[in-house]
Chains A and B, each alone.
Chain A
Amino acid sequence: MTKSSLWKAINKYKWGYLFISPWILLFGAFGLYPLLLSFYLTFFTYNFIEPQAQRFVGLGNWIHGFLDPLFWRSVFNICYNQAIFIGLTFCISLGVALLLKQVGAGGRLYRTVYFVPTVCSVVVVMTVGGYLSSPEGPIQAYLLNLGLLKEPIHWKFDKWLSMPVLAVINSWKWFGIQTVIFLAGLISIDPTLYEAAAIDGANAWDKFWHITIPQLNPQIVFILVMNGIYGLQMFTEVYMNFDLYGGIYHQALTPVLYLYAVAFDQSNMGYASTLGLMLAGLIFILTMLQFRFIQREID
């Protein structure tokens, strides 16, 4: 290529490259570079107070991570929480979406109201939800009055109840958005499918299992993948309600909370970086498994 034709090519394409360049620059500085740095940091102990004390530890952080009971405890906790959250939110939002479809245009006001918690911040929701569900709050008072509860439950200090209660509060926050997603899916299902099934003598239950659920596949996939990626990185919810190690039994320790504690309480950036990579790896594997599973379902 001669010099002038190279110049011509650059001139021809310059706008494309120019318009895309902010992303390239920012991705280099705050995407690629941190990614490489995070691998680099895993081989050292490093803290801000004495950066000169940086020490090479080889695979030490990785071995520590794979053998760290607290890390695996945090992985168990978040899976426990997400299993309840995903199941509960799925049932509620699909049920509400079916009801909204039935009432048609009259459901607009309900849809608007159900969406309000979604636009509120996690900090607000956790403050309000935490107070309402506390032993001093109204929910437990009602249940005590009705005799459904014998004594107040201090769920923030309970080994097994902390995560389920957080899951219920989060369901309250997020079911609105999932309802709207499901409703959009339900409305787009071809009504002739139901009519054909009715002629074949299918009852409501058959229609639900054999038409509604398979037809909602794209929405279900979307919700599962999003929950997998975001839910496993839960932080604010537990940071606000518990200490940095997730309470006396570590019952609410999530991986990101643990990473935060290692980084800013123990100021061990190298190990925190290792934990970040381990969690990212787990999320990646999970997402891949979901896609695999879904692929098989479609085949």
Chain B
Amino acid sequence: MVTRSQVYGGRFYRALKIRKNLSRWIAYFILTLGGGVVVYPFFYMVMNSFKPGPEILHAPMKLPSRWVVTGYIAVWRELQVPLLFRNSLILAVSITLLNLFFDSLAAYALSKLRFPGRDTLFNLMLATLMIPGVLFLIPTYVIMYRLGWVGHFRSLIIPASISVYNIFLMKQFMQRIPDELIDAARIDGCGELGVYFRIVLPLSRPVLTTVAILTFMGSWNDFFGPLLYLMEDPSKWTVQLGLQYFNTSIPGENAEQIWAATTAITVPLVLLYFLLQDQFMKAFAGMRLK
């Protein structure tokens, strides 16, 4: 076999290799610079959250002269922090669990069961994806108001408990489960629910993880929904609404609280992301293309 270096001649190949290495180093250099641009705001945020108040304004770029937690104490005192986290968790966990159940049931029916009108129904679902969410904003609020649901978690949980996009993701995945497996389970005496719980759900773990991450993050980070339905009652606030409480139009006001609060909200999420980074990336970017 003729190797590349024999074709090009040793010297030329070496020159090519050096050039390739050089361009690699330039790439690393630019990427590191970019990494700095991404990381710096987080560094700035954490650093300022441990600074004494006046220093945030007068020496914003310096490291703290003393590391203090007065910002965190102030946030703790002004807001019911455990309550905010509890509310955010109630919303995110219940929306995620309901989605995992309802979406996967629907996806199972659409991918593995036969019934008249199935494909029409699926096409109708896909068509609803094209409707921009803004259209539902006002009429849904009017409906919630008339039902007396404004100010209750159910106004956010119930409409969000099923999602066509998630059904679509799950259907794509479940189609690859072999029919023979399901038929075998039926012959062994499994009913449809048995097949769903014993065969389909355990085999769909990867797509369930994806949907869980997307749904949980969407709910945890949502601001508009809680603003519309829960703003009036501080005992129903989520962490995102809590942070907004410190944002005023006066620059520098509440600086201590703002940095402490942003850090407290961000750190758990970023830790979770680092623990599950592959699943996160697949959920946000990979699955959407398949």
Interface residues of A (CB under 8 A from B): 13, 15-17, 19-20, 22-23, 26-27, 29-31, 33-35, 37-38, 41, 46, 48, 96, 99-100, 102-103, 106-107, 110-124, 127-129, 131-132, 134-138, 141, 172, 176-177, 180-181, 184-185, 218-219, 222, 229, 232-233, 235-236, 239-240, 255-256, 259, 263, 269, 272-273, 276-277, 279-280, 283-284, 287
Contacts and interface: CB of A to CB of B under 8 A. Distances in A.
A100 B268 CA distance: 28
B143 to A, nearest CB: 6
Contacts of B115: 13, 16-17
A33 B274 CA distance: 42
Contact of B140 (A13, A20, A34, A114): A34
Nearest to A138: B61
A122 B289 contact: no
Given A33-B143, A115-B277, A121-B265, A136 B113 contact: no
Interface in B128-157: 128, 130-143, 145
B106 A19 contact: yes
B240 A123 contact: yes
A183 B160 CA distance: 32
Contacts of A110: 31-32, 34-35
A35 to B, nearest CB: 7
Contacts of B133: 233
Q: Which 10 A-B pairs have the closest CB atoms?
A: A16-B115, A34-B139, A121-B221, A19-B109, A13-B115, A180-B285, A15-B192, A37-B139, A16-B113, A38-B139
> Which of A27, A119, A129 is the most central at the interface, judged by chain B CB atoms within 10 Å of its CB?
A119
Contacts of A284: 130, 132
Interface of B: 23-24, 27-28, 30-32, 34-35, 37-39, 41-42, 44-45, 57, 60-61, 102, 105-106, 108-110, 113-116, 118, 121, 125, 128, 130-143, 145, 158-159, 161-162, 164, 167, 192-193, 196, 217, 220-221, 223-224, 227, 240, 243-244, 247, 251-252, 258, 262, 265-266, 269-270, 273-274, 277, 280-281, 284-286, 288-289
A141 B266 CA distance: 26
Contact of A222 (B130, B244, B289): B289
B25 to A, nearest CB: 10
Contacts of A120: 221, 266, 269-270
Contact of B132 (A23, A117, A229, A235): A229
7 contacts: A22-B106, A26-B162, A96-B34, A118-B284, A135-B251, A219-B289, A273-B138
Given A107-B31, A114-B38, A127-B247, A181 B277 contact: no
A113 B37 contact: no
Contacts of B280: 115, 119
Given A113-B38, A280-B135, A284-B132, A41 B60 contact: no
Contacts of B41: 128-129, 132, 172
Given A235-B224, A259-B137, A136 B258 contact: no
A35 B289 contact: no
A17 B110 CA distance: 10
A35 B57 CA distance: 49
A23 B31 contact: no
A263 B131 CA distance: 21
Contact of B35 (A113, A177, A181, A236): A113
A69 B32 CA distance: 46
Contacts of B247: 127, 240
B139 A41 contact: yes
A112 B285 CA distance: 13
A20 B121 contact: yes
A184 B285 contact: yes
A29 B121 CA distance: 17
Query: Chain A's interface: helix, strand, loop or mixed, by majority?
Result: helix
Contacts of B31: 96, 99-100, 103, 107, 110
A46 B24 CA distance: 63
B277 A114 contact: no
A134 B253 CA distance: 13
A254 B220 CA distance: 24
B240 A119 contact: no
> Which of B114, B167, B244 is the most central at the interface, judged by chain A CB atoms within 10 Å of its CB?
B244
A93 to B, nearest CB: 11
A30 B109 contact: no
A233 B132 contact: yes
Contact of A276 (B61, B125, B134, B221): B134
Contacts of A99: 27, 30-31
A119 B220 CA distance: 10
A11 B285 CA distance: 41
A15 B138 contact: no
Contacts of B161: 22, 26
A114 B135 contact: no
Contact of B138 (A176, A177, A219, A276): A276
Contacts of B39: 113, 116
B101 to A, nearest CB: 9
Contacts of B109: 15-17, 19-20
Nearest to A135: B251
